[in-house]
Structures are given as structure tokens and as C-alpha cells.
Structure 1
Amino acid sequence: MKTLIISDSHGLTEEVQVIKNRHQKDVDAMIHCGDSELQKESPVMADFIGVRGNCDYDTGYPNAIVEEIDGTRFLVTHGHLYNIKMTLMNLSYKAEEENASIICFGHSHHAGSELIDGRLYINPGSIRLPRGREEKTYVIVEVTDKDAAVTFYDHEGAEVKDLNRAYNLG
């Protein structure tokens, strides 16, 4: 199972559409972790599991969503309501409460992934305003049995190899 994860596109439409077109036939689901600044009904956001970020004014987006994708339980949120710029502790409590295996969030614009207490946390970074590095990034996570491969890409579709990681969710 492959899932595209993007966040913090802050009003970009063409770039989000290009990434969507590039991968939609190869992935089972697409997630936007908020701050799209687009209306939920926008054609660009069609097919995305999307949540509301602190810069999203469309109240049609939920603050968080739990989605089962091919047997893997995802928690998707922007992160601002969980104070993720300071700690992942609040988000980890929510992940435990929801029994989520993979937690997708944005807000900080810092790309990265890590395994904490058997749960995989993924921040795809930002395709508009990255922080901590130059590349504008997004992610594809591939889950096979209990293994997860997190592959980061820049906005042009090239792998950002130093961010890529493999995890055992077992």
C-alpha cells in the first residue's frame, strides 16, 4: 500500500495538481496535512484526505481524521492544535487514543520521520516554504506487512535520499 502525503502548500494550486497527477495512479490514497489554503471543494483537493490547518478558513475540513487505508490506521492532523513545534507528546497521546500506526502532520514545515513507541510519525515538510533545508518536499510511504518505507521527494519529483528511511512497525 502506498500513500502520498503533502502539507503546507499555502495556496499553491498548479504545484499540488502536478504532484497529484504525477503519483495518483501509483498510490492507494493521498493525504494533505493542512494549510492548503484552498476550499475543500476545490478540484485540486479532490481525492485528498484533507484536514484543517491554522491558515485554512474552510470549516468543511476536520481538525483531525482517522483513516484506515488497506489495513493501516492513519491519524492525519495539521499539528498546530497539538503544539508539535515544541513536542510530539500531545500528538502521541492522540495517536494512542486512536490506535493509529502512522501519524501524518505538518505545521512546522520541517521534513522528517521517526518511529516512537511503535508508531510512525511523518511530517512531509512543505512544498511552498520549507524550513531547515532548501528542498520543497512531500512523501510517499509504502507499507508492506509490518515494514514501512518513507520516501521524500522534492516538488519536481526527485528523491531527497538523505531523508528516506525504512521502519519496522512490528
Structure 2
Amino acid sequence: MHKYLVVSDTHGKDDNFYDVLDLEEPLDGIIHCGDFEGSEGRYALAANCPVYFVAGNNDFFSELNRELEFTFDGHKAFLTHGHNYMVSMDLDYIRSEGIARGVEVVFFGHTHKPVAKTMGGIYLFNPGSLSYPRQEGRKPSYIVLTTDDSGIINYEIKYL
């Protein structure tokens, strides 16, 4: 089994990220959907695994890519912050982008509200925000994604 941590929208408030890292390690990868506000280097150094990071709309001086395609455990994925795909309105546009790119999994953030579901054969994962959650109850959220030996994706939204 492989285990991945999916986070987003930490906005320079790093304590919750390090708490989640302590809770969830060991990990096979960390996926951050942007809006670090300067913490990306520290997060990469703290990780004992590969990292997949993109810049968000508040990462003004970041040298990270705005979009990234990668493969994990045989699954092709697209990672973006999401603000350029109207994710605050609905998920149709980002799902269509995933289909156009030929991926199975789309990771995004921006809304500060967690989403974990499939739509038309595409997995859509938004871990919400570890710093400024906006969903009902306003608990900091993240996603733990696992793949088993046959490559099946399992996922859980978790809260601090």
C-alpha cells in the first residue's frame, strides 16, 4: 500500500501542516495544491518523501509551476490550484480539463472547502484548507489517499 498526503491553502500558517505530517508519516508523497505564501521550501525539506507542489493565486513570488502533471502508482494526475478553472462556481470546467489532459485524477484547492469524489470517471480531490477552512464547522482539513497493490485508489477527508 502507498500513502499520500494531500493539502492546500496553508497560507504561511505552518503549524497545522507539521502536525498533520507527524500524524500521517510515513508517506510515499505529499501533494500541495498551492497558496503556501512562502513555506514551500520548508515543507519540501520537512518531507521524507517525494513532493508535488504548485503555486496558488497568493504565491506571488514563488518559482513553482502553476500546473503539474505527474504519475503516482500508475495513475496519471493533474495538479493545479484551481482558480483558473472556476472551481468556486462548479467543478465542470476542471473536470473537462482533466478529460482533455487524459488524466484519471485532478488535485486542486482554492475554495478552502474539501471535496473528494468521482465525476464522469475522473477523481476530483480538493483537500480544503489547513489554515482557513470555509466549510460548515470550519475545521482544518486534508486528504489521505492510499493505493493498494492492485492500484485501487482509496481516500479519506480528515480534520484536525
Structure 2: gaps of 5 or more residues? none
- Which residue of structure 2 lines up, in the alignment, with residue 164 of structure 1? none
Which residue does the alignment assign to 1:136?
A: 140
1:39 shift after superposition: 4.7
Matched, 1:94 2:97: yes
Query: How far off its partner does 1:98 sit?
Result: 2.1
In structure 1, give the amino acid aligned to 2:142.
Y
Q: TM-score, normalised by structure 2?
A: 0.86
CA distance in 1, matches of 2:43, 2:3: 20
Matching residue of 1:153:
158
Mapped to 1, the partners of 2:78 and 2:146 lie a distance apart of 16
2:8 corresponds in structure 1 to 7
Q: What is the rounded CA distance, in whole Å, between the counterparts of 1:151 and 1:59 in structure 2?
A: 29
Unaligned stretches of 5+ in structure 1? 156-170
Q: Determine the C-alpha separation between the residues in 1 that align with 2:134 and 2:107.
A: 17
Q: Which structure's relative contact order is higher, taking Cα pairs within 8 Å and 6+ residues apart?
A: 2
For residues 97-145 of structure 1, what are the alpha-carbon distances to aligned partners after superposition, in whole Å with 9 as ceiling and x for unaligned? Answer: 2221111111011112121111110111111111122211001011233
3-state SS of paired residue (1:103): strand
Match of 2:17 in 1: 16
Q: CA RMSD, aligned part only?
A: 1.7
- SS of the residue aligned with 1:59? coil
- TM-score, with structure 1 as normaliser: 0.82
Q: Distance in 2 between matches of 1:149 and 1:68?
A: 16
* Percent identity for Structure 1 against Structure 2: 25
Bigger drift between 93-102 and 60-69 goes to 93-102
1:121 alignment partner, SS class: strand
**Whole-angstrom CA distance in 2 between matches of 1:114 and 1:35:** 22
Give distance in 1, aligned partners of 2:159 and 2:147: 21
2:12/2:39 contact within 8 Å kept: no
